[in-house]
Amino acid sequence: MNNNETTTKNEMAPPKSSIGVPGWLKQNLFSNWWNTLLTIIFTVITIYVVKGTFTWVFFTAEWSVVSENFKLLMVGQYPDEELWRVWTALSIFTALVGISWGVWKGTMGHVSIFLGVVMAITMVVPFIAVGSRIWLAANIGLLVLGFAIGKQSEKLKKPVLVGWFLLVPIGMFFIEGFGLLNEVSTNFWGGFLLTCLIAIISIIASFPIGILLALGRRSNLPIIKWFSIIYIELIRGIPLITVLFVAQLMLPLFLGDTIELDKVLRAMIGFTLFNAAYLAENVRGGLQSLPRGQYEAAQALGLNKAKMMTFVIMPQALKAVIPAMVGQFISIFKDTVLVSIVGLIDLLGMAKKIIANPQFLGTQMESFVFVAFVFFMICYLMSYVSRRLERSLGVGER
Amino acid sequence: MSMQDEAKPLQGREDMIEVIGLNKWFGNLHVLKDVDLNVKQGEVVVVLGPSGSGKSTFIRTLNALEEFQKGEIHIDGINLSNDVANIEAIRKETGMVFQQFNLFPHMTILRNVMLAPIWVRKWKKDKAEKIAFELLERVGIPEQAHKYPGQLSGGQQQRVAIARALAMQPKIMLFDEPTSALDPEMIKEVLDVMKTLARSGMTMVVVTHEMSFAREVADRIVLFDYGEIVEMGEPNEVFENPKHERTKAFLSQIL
Ligand SMILES: Nc1ncnc2c1ncn2[C@@H]1O[C@H](COP(=O)(O)OP(=O)(O)OP(=O)(O)O)[C@@H](O)[C@H]1O
Ligand SMILES: [Mg+2]
């Protein structure tokens, strides 16, 4: 009898929680007179703000400042007849995104769709030149084609990774020429292109330096250890603007007359040196979060130091600090606007230059809103990808 | 190889581990005091002793996870010095199993087992994989090969850790309290794997509090107290007829 009671108890579905829209409203927004008042006040404010924004964006604003200067905002003074090279670099990037989407699915799919939608919208906007429309259409085609190819075969993983590693040198080759194509001096780089190039190059270059500094700071060799500590603390104690000035003015002094670095390169070096110090501290945090047993197990198996770091320690340490690192990358991306102080014309600098032109008097709002919108899109994308990455790698679960 | 080893008496065999006058300090704390111990090939030595007596420290000096200040250690004829090449050679010969398992959480079980054979022994991937599966079979969990350590029970993780150490085909296995972090119902599955391993002729040094294991499997018991070996002998001798007062005190607490 007793036995039966425990085994025959019916399984029950959980109680229904759906209380319907009116119920939800009542429970959350109008539960008492005080909540009701707050709800009404905030509704009024929200309607007011949304209506104002809507009217401004669609009726009041003079978007011609963006449309007429679209090329300047995107690529600066980059010569028209060489623009195909920027497009080619972008197309390689797009193709890689597409193939990666096919091979890895998941997050890359979301990135691809984002990229595709942005391109599609840009393509149909009225003020875009016909040539650009063709390139954009081709890029969307590449995205889809890449996906189709990537889906076919898992074996593409390695070539695609190699492709990503080669993307930056190849892209830079197309954009700058390196003596093989007509050189497009960095003086002509500007706008969003310059912003992206500085951010991408300094993020990538600072990565290995940051890891080495983090390892150096934990090294047993006093010289390496103290060099790393002094470097990291020095850089972290100096504002980024100062680092940029130092890179502009002092680097030529250190290097003498023999090597002439151009302005953009010096800015990239400044950002890289700055970013590396912060990255090193992030990575060090990740290293410290690992239990000693991980090192000991790797050593006991006979792995030497380099292999232990490469296969056991670093993957876990980096994984643990993805959120912090992406935060750092986002802030570097935004901080690129500081290059206007050393005379480079990035996206924001270009917008400021344009509104100084009497022809576009009184269009600051439009220009800055556009710049803000572009930054927001990129930064939000980065943060979104980081969150997805964390989840798919199971950060926090050990 | 196991049959031959069983037949051959221990006396006739060569020493796999030779420890002579070993001393170690942590700062001013003298944790190992003139420890002498020889372990023959195929011998199973169980190390007992109260908490803080230096058992872990001792077993960890054997594969250079801890340094020592005085004395000599020879593992399979290799002198354990500060020379990195010697340390690497010794670590290739010795596998170690830890109390906390210490599996690599970012790799699947299979990759945990294959990592060292591929990167230290330089085996081809096919060979490493074949042997990894054989070992996982041997410790009874081939079906978990593609899971991550976090998805396994403690007992399963510890068995993987044993397989991972064995994958390097070591001549010596060191165990530091391999069952102390396990729930009671999982202890047996790990001890069974260790027993099988002992019978196959593996040279083993085992720190444990599992007296049944010590009685059944050990060729010799070594009792540590305050960093010294206070008693050493066959299990029967030590358990039934301890010579030293401190051994009696320790055994009366445990049994
Ligand atoms: N890294 C260290 N630094 C300083 N002292 C240490 C360190 N590791 C261990 N000790 C000390 O050395 C002594 C021996 O420690 P050990 O871990 O070898 O003991 P044990 O016999 O393994 O004990 P248990 O049974 O609790 O594991 C203890 O007094 C301990 O506090
Ligand atoms: Mg211990």
A350 neighbors A190 (Cβ within 8 angstroms): yes
pLDDT beyond 90 at B14: no
Query: Which residues lie with the beta carbon below 6 Å from any ligand 1 atom?
Result: B 26, 29, 31, 49, 51-57
> Is residue B6 a part of any domain in this protein?
no
> Is residue B3 a part of any domain in this protein?
no
- The structural domain count of chain B equals 1
Q: In this structure, what DSSP letter does residue B140 have?
A: T
* Dist. CA A38–CA B109, nearest whole Å: 55
- The structural domain count of chain A equals 2
User: Domain range holding A237?
Assistant: 189-397
> Is residue A277 a part of any domain in this protein?
yes
Domain end among A136, A169, A184: A184
pLDDT of residue A351: 93
> Is residue A212 a part of any domain in this protein?
yes
Which residues on A lie below 8 Å from B103 (Cβ)? 297
Angle between helices B109-119 and B125-138 (to 10 degrees): 130
pLDDT of residue A8: 58
Q: Search chain B and give the residue with CA nearest A307.
A: B119
The answer on A317 and A198 residing in a single domain is: yes
Task: Report yes or no: B251 at the A interface, CB cutoff 8 Å.
Answer: no
Q: Give the Å distances, CA to CA, from A149 to A23, A142, B240.
A: 50, 10, 74
Q: Which of A294, A296, A316 sits opposite B65 (nearest CB)?
A: A296
Is the ipTM of this structure higher than 0.85?
yes
> Is residue B202 a part of any domain in this protein?
yes
Task: Report yes or no: A133 at the B interface, CB cutoff 8 Å.
Answer: no
Which residues on A lie below 8 Å from B152 (Cβ)? none
Separation of CA B83 and ligand 2 centre (Å): 26
Closest approach atom of ligand 1 to CA B57:
18
Tokens 């780089």 correspond to A189
> Is residue B132 a part of any domain in this protein?
yes
> Is residue B159 a part of any domain in this protein?
yes
The answer on A159 and A199 residing in a single domain is: no
* Dist. CA A158–CA A140, nearest whole Å: 24
Distance from CA of A344 to the nearest CA of B (A): 43
Burial of B154 (0-12, 13-18, 19+ CB in 10 A): middle
* Dist. CA A386–CA A325, nearest whole Å: 9
Distance from CA of B107 to the nearest CA of A (A): 9
Closest approach atom of ligand 1 to CA B58:
18
CATH code assigned at A214: 1.10.3720.10
The answer on A302 and A205 residing in a single domain is: yes
Instruction: Report, as an integer, the average pLDDT of B108-113.
Output: 95
Write the residue with the smallest CA distance to atom 30 of ligand 1. Answer: B52
Euclidean distance between the first and the last CA atom of chain B, given in angstroms as a whole number? 35
Q: Which of B23, B25, B26 to mutate to test the pocket of ligand 1 (most atoms within 8 A of CB)?
A: B26
Going by C-alpha positions, the residue among B194, B181, B251 that lies closest to residue B44 is B194
Q: Search chain A and give the residue with CA nearest B151.
A: A398
* Dist. CA A356–CA A365, nearest whole Å: 13
* Dist. CA A177–CA B174, nearest whole Å: 60
User: What is the widest separation between alpha-carbon atoms in chain B?
Assistant: 55
The answer on A200 and A106 residing in a single domain is: no
3-class DSSP assignment, residue A31: coil
CATH code assigned at B155: 3.40.50.300
The answer on A248 and A176 residing in a single domain is: no
Separation of CA B225 and ligand 1 centre (Å): 12
pLDDT of residue A1: 44
- Model confidence over B33-51: pLDDT tens digits? 999 999 999 999 999 999 9
Domain end among A184, A211, A245: A184
The answer on A252 and A180 residing in a single domain is: no
Q: In this structure, what DSSP letter does residue A13 have?
A: P
pLDDT of residue A395: 56
The answer on A199 and A91 residing in a single domain is: no
Distance of CA A81 to the CA centre of its chain: 29
pLDDT of residue A5: 47
> Is residue B100 a part of any domain in this protein?
yes
> Is residue A100 a part of any domain in this protein?
yes
> Is residue A279 a part of any domain in this protein?
yes
Residues 115-134 of B with CB under 8 A from A: 115-116, 119-120
As averages over each run of 10 residues, the pLDDT of chain A (398 residues) reads: 54 72 80 87 94 88 86 89 90 92 87 92 86 92 92 85 90 86 84 93 93 93 95 94 88 72 87 95 94 95 93 92 91 93 90 90 89 94 89 63
The answer on A215 and A143 residing in a single domain is: no
> Is residue B5 a part of any domain in this protein?
no
Q: Which of B59, B101, B119, B151 is the mutation pick for testing A, counting most A CBs within 10 A?
A: B119
pLDDT of residue A184: 82
- Model confidence over B139-168: pLDDT tens digits? 999 999 999 999 999 999 999 999 999 999
Structure tokens at A361: 């008097």
> Is residue A40 a part of any domain in this protein?
no
> Is residue A9 a part of any domain in this protein?
no
User: Domain range holding B18?
Assistant: 11-252
Q: Give the Å distances, CA to CA, from B167 to A225, B5, B129, B135.
A: 36, 21, 10, 7
The answer on A214 and A310 residing in a single domain is: yes
The answer on A243 and A154 residing in a single domain is: no
The DSSP bridge pattern shows strands B15-26 and B29-40 to be antiparallel
State the pTM of this model.
0.84
pLDDT beyond 90 at B172: yes
pLDDT of residue B1: 41
Distance from CA of B89 to the nearest CA of A (A): 8
Q: Which of A290, A295, A301 is the mutation pick for testing B, counting most B CBs within 10 A?
A: A301
pLDDT of residue B3: 43
Q: Search chain A and give the residue with CA nearest B148.
A: A398
Separation of CA B157 and ligand 2 centre (Å): 19
Q: Which of B30, B33, B47, B57 to mutate to test the pocket of ligand 1 (most atoms within 8 A of CB)?
A: B57
The number of residues making up chain B comes to 255
Domain end among A166, A184, A202: A184
Sign of the C-alpha dihedral computed for residues B197, B201, B204 and B207 taken in this order: positive
Write the residue with the smallest CA distance to atom 28 of ligand 1. Answer: B52
The number of residues making up chain A comes to 398
Write the residue with the smallest CA distance to atom 4 of ligand 1. Answer: B26
> Is residue B89 a part of any domain in this protein?
yes
Cross-chain residue pair A299–B88, CB shorter than 8 Å: no
